[in-house]
A and B are shown apart, each in its own frame.
Chain A
């Protein structure tokens, strides 16, 4: 806020040489300087204008929001206006929280403007409009001091233009909560659920709620925040005056992981009981995690791995129980180690500021393609194209598992977890959200429990003596079973190929499928080498290595492949993905272009898209004026978008740029977008 105001003042010093300053007498104390300012330099009958109490406080002093919190008092303005002129309520900017022991206050430090809209009636004919106000406010540091003063500001009649204080009003507007365009609900327990379609709430760093009135919630109680589908929930502690049937009005202040803050004003309607994940007690978290891990075995993602396990089980037939137990332990070890490694990676990445969730590695098309190839390779192995010797390569699975190698079982366990991650089992959402929200030790415990649940069926199978004895004696049936179970592997590989297509488009699909051919070729050559000796063997082995290297080289081109544009959820306004080349082409053709740089974690972006861009009038304007809509999705890092932002002096989203037709200079629109502002911009461009 202070920073924005500073920028605004700087802009005003440069940009508004003709504008007149309109500020009343200044009431100064060692704590604060107060005055009344206006956004225009004249009054016009039949219009509205804005005035505001400006408080510039000494360092450490603050004044209060409309709901001051547990202590303090909001500023009051008592206007004396000519007959017919009316004053609206103060439009309060977003406050900050000031916790003091168990006392929570909401207020402002530095400089704040408390704006009020004045309505001048159509017949108002006076030469001057004297705006008189008696203002009283409380400033606090360690001690509180009530202050008050009378201010007078006289606005001459005439055509109003922006005063030098207008940027201060604009900056204040940008820092004022906007009405939430989506519904919110509050449960009888005080859990507030806010729907923000398209928001990736896992990217939210901080969210807090402040009620408009005292007593609705315990202001200083912790507010447990959990991401939810298309929004978030905040577990509030109801206060003495909370009545579920009456709903809950207040503001939600959301900071995304880039540190950008947005505030929404909302009235939550009474909703059903909600038990958010974040307040799961430890025992419940462990039970959920166990159940989630257990059920995960039945999810389709794990199906190919189940095939491998089935072969492993078949290999137990007639085998001795000690070997079976050893294998089971190795498999469980692989599962647990991978679960813990995933947890550690997730926690580490989150701590480092990048926001990732369960299955995050599948966001990378390179990872997905590599996994597809791995499954394909395992399938080929099962089909009998080649054999896998002992040692580290036994990780490729089935053969080693069939032989009873502990290393193979361990690696099978690891593979099972990695392949299972794109799937979510019932209970899993709650368990993972709860575990990730908890302290490190609990996070690890939660993931460990999930691993135990995941490994349990197989371990039980191997450990119960009766089961292995019931299996038929080893024989040809095992070879047939292995060959049949190759097909789930191929099916899984095809599914992953489809995922790559979504992520990296047709090019990505081509690279992945082409790579699969190379892998197949390499493994065929490997198989050939296994049945040859001398020069034939060396030749085949060299061919295999060359094909393998070629496949890996393809993988690196996949990393550079352009991302697919299917990520965006809001398709309200038909548009094209942003590329610098496309923008340049449209510009040289003289086509008007509207560029929207957005991200799924950017609350402001999503609100703007809903309240402005998604409006029918905007859609019509785009069509009527032939404006091409280019949308850049910065949800994942994209150097082209980063460069574009930097070129326009920005380091983050949202960014809206309008390029009028035929060479007129581009207009950077404000980060708080309204339908009217956009339409005005199009009108101004004369299109």
Chain B
């Protein structure tokens, strides 16, 4: 960081530029107030699910790390498991037009159908507003918000950062463990883990 550039970043005014601000939401604090439009055109907000746990998954169907989770049905299984315990699953697609993973609403629904996925909503976030709100870095980046609106998990889908579907069975299943702990009212052991995957396609940045 050069002296000049650092100086600019140190300017309090820089905080007014949402594009530069980087404030990852903290586990244990109230989750950022997410509002977005889903693939059916409905407005979805985190507030409307108060009283239910919410799982937020960043996704990009072209990303090899996402494919690892969908090709063998592992992510779909996790989605159904979450639904069974009363949790709401939000899949967020933040790729802008022209980038890998970008879809319009009909394609998003088509993807859900062909992949036999079971999210409650697929949120379309082509301007990365939600991604920046959560400082989502990769696909799949996973967040869990508890029934009271507190962020209780942020990190990877599991512990092995690879693109091999075989590794899922060998890895520590962080998200499944967190959901199980949440359902049982136990504290979550690994509440912050390393997210792994493809970079979220932030627009205007190389």
Interface residues of A (CB under 8 A from B): 70-73, 98-103, 105, 138, 140, 142-146, 205-208, 214-215, 218, 220-225, 240-241, 278-279, 282, 350-351, 436-439, 442
Min C-beta distance of A576 to chain B, whole Å: 36
- Contact partner of B64 (CB less than 8 A), chosen from A142, A145, A436, is A145
CA distance A98 to B205 in the complex (A): 10
Please state if B2 and A101 are interface contacts (CB–CB under 8 Å). Answer: no
Please state if B24 and A71 are interface contacts (CB–CB under 8 Å). Answer: no
Please state if A439 and B11 are interface contacts (CB–CB under 8 Å). Answer: yes
Min C-beta distance of A356 to chain B, whole Å: 13
CA distance A218 to B195 in the complex (A): 13
Other CB < 8 Å A-B pairs besides A71-B198, A224-B10, 16 of them? A70-B199, A73-B162, A101-B205, A103-B137, A103-B138, A103-B200, A138-B163, A140-B198, A143-B100, A214-B194, A218-B22, A224-B6, A437-B7, A437-B10, A438-B7, A439-B7
Q: Which A-chain residue is minimally distant from B99 (CB atoms)?
A: A142
Please state if A206 and B138 are interface contacts (CB–CB under 8 Å). Answer: no
Q: Which A-chain residue is minimally distant from B162 (CB atoms)?
A: A73
Q: Quick check: is B63 within 8 A (CB to CB) of the other chain?
A: yes
- Contact partner of B138 (CB less than 8 A), chosen from A71, A225, A241, is A71
Min C-beta distance of B86 to chain A, whole Å: 28
Please state if B132 and A207 are interface contacts (CB–CB under 8 Å). Answer: no
Please state if A279 and B199 are interface contacts (CB–CB under 8 Å). Answer: no
Q: Which B-chain residue is minimally distant from A214 (CB atoms)?
A: B194
- Contact partner of B10 (CB less than 8 A), chosen from A205, A240, A279, is A279
- Contact partner of A105 (CB less than 8 A), chosen from B3, B6, B192, B199, is B199
CA distance A73 to B197 in the complex (A): 8
Measured between beta carbons, the chain A residues less than 8 angstroms from B194 are 214-215
Q: Is the interface of A mostly helix, strand, loop or mixed?
A: mixed
Measured between beta carbons, the chain B residues less than 8 angstroms from A71 are 137-138, 195-200
Please state if B201 and A142 are interface contacts (CB–CB under 8 Å). Answer: yes
CA distance A215 to B7 in the complex (A): 25
Measured between beta carbons, the chain A residues less than 8 angstroms from B12 are 282
- Indicate with 1 or 0, residue by residue over B18-54, a CB within 8 angstroms of chain A CB atoms: 0000101001000000000000000000000000000
- Beyond A215-B192, A215-B194, whether A101 also contacts B7 by CB under 8 A is no
Q: Which B-chain residue is minimally distant from A97 (CB atoms)?
A: B1
Q: Which B-chain residue is minimally distant from A441 (CB atoms)?
A: B11
CA distance A103 to B99 in the complex (A): 16
Please state if B24 and A218 are interface contacts (CB–CB under 8 Å). Answer: yes
Measured between beta carbons, the chain A residues less than 8 angstroms from B135 are 102
Please state if B137 and A102 are interface contacts (CB–CB under 8 Å). Answer: yes
Please state if A221 and B22 are interface contacts (CB–CB under 8 Å). Answer: yes
Q: Which B-chain residue is minimally distant from A436 (CB atoms)?
A: B3
Please state if B63 and A143 are interface contacts (CB–CB under 8 Å). Answer: yes
Measured between beta carbons, the chain B residues less than 8 angstroms from A437 are 3, 6-7, 10
CA distance A71 to B58 in the complex (A): 13
- Indicate with 1 or 0, residue by residue over B162-206, a CB within 8 angstroms of chain A CB atoms: 110000000000000000000000000000101111111111011
Min C-beta distance of A209 to chain B, whole Å: 10
CA distance A101 to B8 in the complex (A): 17
Min C-beta distance of A127 to chain B, whole Å: 36
- Contact partner of B205 (CB less than 8 A), chosen from A100, A206, A218, A442, is A100
Q: Quick check: is B117 within 8 A (CB to CB) of the other chain?
A: no
Q: Quick check: is B97 within 8 A (CB to CB) of the other chain?
A: no
- Indicate with 1 or 0, residue by residue over B116-157, a CB within 8 angstroms of chain A CB atoms: 000000000000100110010110000000000000000000
CA distance A436 to B3 in the complex (A): 9
CA distance A146 to B1 in the complex (A): 30
CA distance A222 to B197 in the complex (A): 23
Please state if A240 and B199 are interface contacts (CB–CB under 8 Å). Answer: no
Please state if A101 and B200 are interface contacts (CB–CB under 8 Å). Answer: yes
- Beyond A102-B22, A103-B199, A103-B200, whether A142 also contacts B100 by CB under 8 A is yes
Min C-beta distance of B99 to chain A, whole Å: 6
Please state if A225 and B6 are interface contacts (CB–CB under 8 Å). Answer: yes
Measured between beta carbons, the chain A residues less than 8 angstroms from B137 are 70-71, 102-103
7 nearest A-B pairs in the assembled complex, by CB-CB distance: A101-B202, A70-B137, A240-B192, A222-B9, A71-B199, A143-B100, A146-B163
Please state if B161 and A73 are interface contacts (CB–CB under 8 Å). Answer: yes
Please state if A220 and B64 are interface contacts (CB–CB under 8 Å). Answer: no
- Beyond A224-B6, A225-B1, whether A146 also contacts B64 by CB under 8 A is yes
Q: Which A-chain residue is minimally distant from B5 (CB atoms)?
A: A222
Measured between beta carbons, the chain A residues less than 8 angstroms from B198 are 71-72, 140, 143-144
Please state if A223 and B192 are interface contacts (CB–CB under 8 Å). Answer: no
Q: Quick check: is B62 within 8 A (CB to CB) of the other chain?
A: yes
CA distance A138 to B197 in the complex (A): 11
- Beyond A278-B6, A279-B10, whether A224 also contacts B199 by CB under 8 A is no
Min C-beta distance of B66 to chain A, whole Å: 11
CA distance A601 to B200 in the complex (A): 39
CA distance A215 to B159 in the complex (A): 14
CA distance A241 to B11 in the complex (A): 28
Please state if A144 and B64 are interface contacts (CB–CB under 8 Å). Answer: yes
- Beyond A102-B132, A206-B1, A208-B1, whether A72 also contacts B7 by CB under 8 A is no
CA distance A471 to B121 in the complex (A): 85
- Contact partner of B132 (CB less than 8 A), chosen from A73, A101, A436, is A101
Q: Which B-chain residue is minimally distant from A222 (CB atoms)?
A: B9
Please state if A72 and B1 are interface contacts (CB–CB under 8 Å). Answer: no
Measured between beta carbons, the chain A residues less than 8 angstroms from B205 are 99-101
Measured between beta carbons, the chain B residues less than 8 angstroms from A206 are 1-2
Min C-beta distance of B192 to chain A, whole Å: 4
- Beyond A71-B196, A73-B196, A101-B200, whether A144 also contacts B63 by CB under 8 A is yes
Which of A103, A224, A225 gathers the greatest number of chain B CB atoms within 10 Å?
A103
Q: Which B-chain residue is minimally distant from A73 (CB atoms)?
A: B161
Min C-beta distance of A264 to chain B, whole Å: 17
Min C-beta distance of A159 to chain B, whole Å: 41
Q: Which B-chain residue is minimally distant from A144 (CB atoms)?
A: B198
CA distance A208 to B3 in the complex (A): 11
Complex A-B: 23 CB contacts under 8 Å? A70-B137, A70-B138, A71-B137, A71-B138, A71-B195, A71-B196, A100-B199, A100-B202, A101-B200, A101-B203, A102-B135, A103-B199, A103-B202, A138-B163, A142-B99, A143-B198, A144-B198, A206-B1, A208-B1, A225-B1, A241-B192, A279-B10, A437-B7
- Contact partner of A278 (CB less than 8 A), chosen from B10, B27, B195, B196, is B10
Please state if B199 and A72 are interface contacts (CB–CB under 8 Å). Answer: yes
Q: Which A-chain residue is minimally distant from B139 (CB atoms)?
A: A71
